[in-house]
Structure 1
Amino acid sequence: MAIRIFGKLNDIVNKPFAVDYPVSLGTFKTILHQHFPELRSISFQIAIDQQMNENETLLLTEDSEIALLPPFSGG
């Protein structure tokens, strides 16, 4: 599984962490917060296989591509 981390999130998520797959998106977020408590105070989104997703029950597998995206604005 590939995890891509962008922007200021890259400074926070700066060490490897283990995840047993398959895992739900909700559980993945919990694991992130356990390893990196600073994330609790930061707004960020998660893209799964290049699509934004907030479905907490979505199952992530070893083949999933996950991207952690900081807030961004468009214009």
Structure 2
Amino acid sequence: MITVNYFGNIAEAAQSDSEILDQKSLDLGELLDLLDSKYDIRKFQFQVAVNRKIVSKQQTLSISEDDEVALLPPFAGG
């Protein structure tokens, strides 16, 4: 199962701060498409972290069982 953690506007849209998906594996694009169909996430600006490492949303990356994905609001400041 894949754990997805939501923050900011996406957490509000999902009405939750986390979700466990009953998926063995997906690529990152498939995961984002699935979440977009559920919560319309693409209307928000966000970054993606996989296992606590920021990755590009366009990156070809396999998400497997026991991976943790976080959808993070944009960071600002310094």
Give the TM interval when normalised to the shorter protein.
0.7 to 0.9
Query: What is the root-mean-square deviation in Å for CA atoms of aligned residues?
Result: 2.0
TM-score by length of 1: 0.81
Write out per-residue CA displacement over residues 8-64 of structure 1, whole angstroms, 9 at most, x where no aligned residue.
Answer: 221012265845321000100110111112x22111111000001125321111110
Identity rate, percent: 30
Q: 1:49 aligns with which of 42, 48, 51?
A: 51
Q: Which runs of 5+ in 2 are unaligned?
A: none
TM-score by length of 2: 0.78
Task: Judging by fraction of residues, say which structure has more strand.
Answer: 2
Aligned length in residues: 74
Q: CA deviation at 1:7?
A: 1.7
Alignment pair present for 1:67 and 2:32:
no
Aligned counterparts of 2:36 and 2:42: Cα–Cα separation in 1: 6
Structure 1 stretches of 4+ moved >3 Å: 15-19
Q: CA deviation at 1:4?
A: 1.4
Aligned counterparts of 2:20 and 2:69: Cα–Cα separation in 1: 14
